[in-house]
C-alpha cells in the first residue's frame, strides 16, 4: 500500500512542477575596474565654458579639429572603439548617444554623423594618454537650433568569457564614455513642434505595451518633458490604460516611443492583454517647464493576429491553475480507484 501512495504522490508533484510558471533569471551586474577615461580639450569657439562637453558655435562651411584624450591607466596596452553618434531618445525619455547609423528623422536637415571624420579604432599604450582628433566640417548652409550628437568611446575586449563569475551573476558589463557634441550657428530659440505619428501594441521581453510614437521634428532639445497618456475603447470615455511620467527629454529631430504598459512582467497581471478591437490614445505632453503643451490623440486597432503573435512569444498561462487543479482531481480519482482495487484484492 505504501508503495502505491509514494507513486501517486510522485505523480502529483510531477504535475505541479510541469505547470509551474517560468522563472527567468535576473541578470546581476558585477563590478569591474574601469582602467581608462576620456577628457575633452575645449576649443575657443566653445559657447558654454563651464561644461564638460563640446558646445560649439560654427559658421557655414567652417573646418575645425576637435581634440580629446583617451587615458589608459592599465598596465596593459588597449585598443578603443570611437564613433560619433547622432542623439536619439530612448523609451525612458533619456537622450541616448550609443548607436550609430540609425535611420534619420525625415525632417533632419543635417546629420552630424556625416559632418565628421575620425579614426574608428585607436591604440593607447599602458599607463599613457593619447590625443584623438576629429575633423569637423560645418554645414555649408544656414541652420537653426542644434545639431546634437556624442563622441562614443569604448574599450575593446572588455569581456573575458574565460573569467569565472561570482555565483548568481550572469551579466558581464561593458563600460563606455560619451562626450556630448553640439553645434549651433546662433542661440536664437526655435519654436517647438511635436507630432503624434502613430500608436501600436508591442512587446519586449514579456512586457506588453501600447507605444505612442511622437516626433520632435524641429532641431531643438526638449527639456523637462512630461507625458500623461490614457487609452480608451474608441468612442468611449472609459479609461482602460493610463501612464504618466515626468522629467524626461527629447533629442532634436528624434522619435520618442512612449510605452503604456498593458501587463506586468510578473504577478497577477502578467497575462493581461488588450482584446481585439478599436481604441483611442490621448496624450497630454508638456515641455520646457510647461511653456509648451500639446493635447494629442490617435485611434488604433488591435487585431486577433497581433494578439496571437504576442501570445506566441509570451504564452498566456492564465488557465494553467485550472489545468493543475483538473490534473490533481484526476490523479486523486485514480488514487481512489487504485486504493479501492488494492483493498478488494486483499480480501
Among 184-193, 289-298, 335-344, the range scoring the smallest mean pLDDT is: 335-344
Is pLDDT at 12 greater than 90 in this prediction? Answer: no
Instruction: Tell whether the model's pLDDT for residue 281 goes beyond 70.
Output: yes
- Cα–Cα distance for residue pair 124/320, rounded to 1 Å: 57
pLDDT of residue 160: 61
Per-residue pLDDT tens over the stretch 120-154: 999 999 999 999 999 999 999 999 999 999 999 99
Closest CA to 250 of 176, 194, 321, 308: 194
pLDDT value for 342? 61
Indicate the pLDDT class of residue 340, thresholds 50, 70 and 90: low
Neighbour-count burial of 140, counting CB atoms closer than 10 A to its CB (0-12 exposed, 13-18 middle, 19+ buried): exposed
Asked if the model's pLDDT at residue 288 lies above 90, the reply is yes
Is the pLDDT assigned to residue 84 strictly greater than 90?
Answer: yes
Residue 120 or 336, more confident:
120
Q: pLDDT tier at 271 (50, 70, 90 boundaries)?
A: confident
Q: What is the pLDDT of residue 17?
A: 41
Checking if the pLDDT of 8 tops 60, the result is no
pLDDT single digits (tens) 229-245: 999 999 999 999 999 99
CATH of 194-313, one of 3.20.20.70, 3.40.50.970, 2.60.40.10, 3.40.50.11540: 2.60.40.10
Residue 167 pLDDT level (bands cut at 50, 70, 90): low
Q: What is the mean pLDDT of the chain?
A: 86
68: pLDDT confidence band, cut at 50, 70 and 90? Answer: very high
∠ CA 313-314-319, nearest 5°, is 135
Tens digits of per-residue pLDDT, 290-314? Answer: 999 999 999 999 999 998 988 887 7
| Class of the CATH-defined domain 36-158+175-184 | mainly beta
- Can you give the pLDDT at residue 206? 85
Answer with the residue of higher pLDDT: 136 or 330: 136
Q: How confident is the model at residue 344 (pLDDT cuts 50, 70, 90)?
A: low
Q: Is residue 267 very low, low, confident or very high in pLDDT (cuts 50, 70, 90)?
A: confident
The structure's pTM equals 0.79
Residue ranges of the domains in the chain? 2-20+320-346, 36-158+175-184, 194-313
Cα–Cα distance, 250 to 91 (Å, whole number): 10
Q: What is the pLDDT of residue 158?
A: 85
Q: Is the pLDDT of residue 170 over 80?
A: no
Per-residue burial over 269-278, b if 16 or more Cβ lie within 10 Å, else e, is: ebbebbeeee
Q: Tell me: pLDDT of 227 over 70.
A: yes
Residue 163: per-residue pLDDT = 59
pLDDT at site 142: 95
Rounded to whole angstroms, the Cα distance separating 17 from 170 reads 24
DSSP letters along 17-63, please? HHTPPP-PPPP--------EEEEEE--TTBS-TTSSSEEEE--TT-E
pLDDT at residue 30, rounded to an integer: 33
* Whole-number percent of the chain with pLDDT over 70: 78
What is the rounded distance in angstroms from the CA atom of residue 342 to the CA atom of residue 347? Answer: 9
pLDDT for res 334: 74
Task: Answer yes or no: same fold for 36-158+175-184 and 194-313.
Answer: yes
pLDDT at residue 29 tops 50: no
Amino acid at each position: 500500500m505504501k508503495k502505491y501512495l509514494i507513486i501517486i504522490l510522485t505523480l502529483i508533484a510531477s504535475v505541479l512542477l510541469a505547470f509551474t510558471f517560468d522563472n527567468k533569471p535576473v541578470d546581476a551586474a558585477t563590478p569591474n575596474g574601469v582602467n581608462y577615461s576620456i577628457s575633452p580639450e575645449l576649443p575657443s569657439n566653445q559657447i558654454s565654458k563651464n561644461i564638460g562637453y563640446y558646445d560649439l558655435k560654427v559658421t557655414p562651411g567652417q573646418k575645425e579639429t576637435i581634440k580629446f584624450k583617451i587615458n589608459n591607466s592599465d598596465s596593459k596596452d588597449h585598443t578603443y572603439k570611437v564613433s560619433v553618434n547622432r542623439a536619439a531618445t530612448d523609451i525612458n525619455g533619456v537622450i541616448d548617444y550609443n548607436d550609430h547609423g540609425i535611420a534619420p528623422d525625415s525632417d533632419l536637415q543635417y546629420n552630424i554623423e556625416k559632418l565628421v571624420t575620425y579614426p574608428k579604432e585607436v591604440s593607447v599604450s599602458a599607463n599613457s594618454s593619447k590625443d584623438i582628433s576629429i575633423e569637423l566640417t560645418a554645414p555649408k548652409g544656414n541652420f537653426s537650433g542644434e545639431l546634437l550628437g556624442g563622441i562614443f568611446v569604448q574599450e575593446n575586449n572588455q569581456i573575458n568569457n574565460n573569467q569565472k563569475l561570482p555565483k548568481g551573476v550572469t551579466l558581464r558589463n561593458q563600460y563606455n564614455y560619451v562626450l556630448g557634441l553640439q553645434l549651433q550657428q546662433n542661440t536664437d530659440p526655435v519654436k517647438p513642434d511635436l507630432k503624434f505619428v502613430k500608436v501600436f501594441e508591442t512587446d519586449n521581453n514579456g512586457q506588453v505595451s501600447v507605444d505612442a510614437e511622437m516626433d520632435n521634428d524641429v532641431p531643438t532639445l526638449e527639456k523637462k518633458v512630461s507625458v500623461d497618456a490614457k487609452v480608451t475603447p474608441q468612442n468611449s470615455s472609459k479609461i482602460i490604460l493610463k501612464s504618466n511620467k515626468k522629467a524626461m527629454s527629447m533629442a532634436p529631430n528624434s522619435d520618442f516611443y512612449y510605452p503604456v504598459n498593458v501587463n506586468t512582467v510578473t504577478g497577477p497581471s502578467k497575462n493581461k492583454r488588450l482584446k481585439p478591437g478599436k481604441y483611442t490614445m490621448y496624450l497630454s505632453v508638456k515641455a520646457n517647464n510647461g511653456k509648451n503643451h500639446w493635447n494629442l490623440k490617435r485611434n488604433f486597432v488591435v487585431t486577433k493576429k497581433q494578439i496571437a503573435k504576442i501570445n506566441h512569444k509570451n504564452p498566456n498561462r492564465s488557465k494553467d491553475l485550472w489545468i493543475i487543479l483538473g490534473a490533481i482531481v484526476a490523479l486523486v480519482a485514480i488514487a481512489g480507484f487504485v486504493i479501492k482495487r488494492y483493498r478488494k484484492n486483499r480480501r
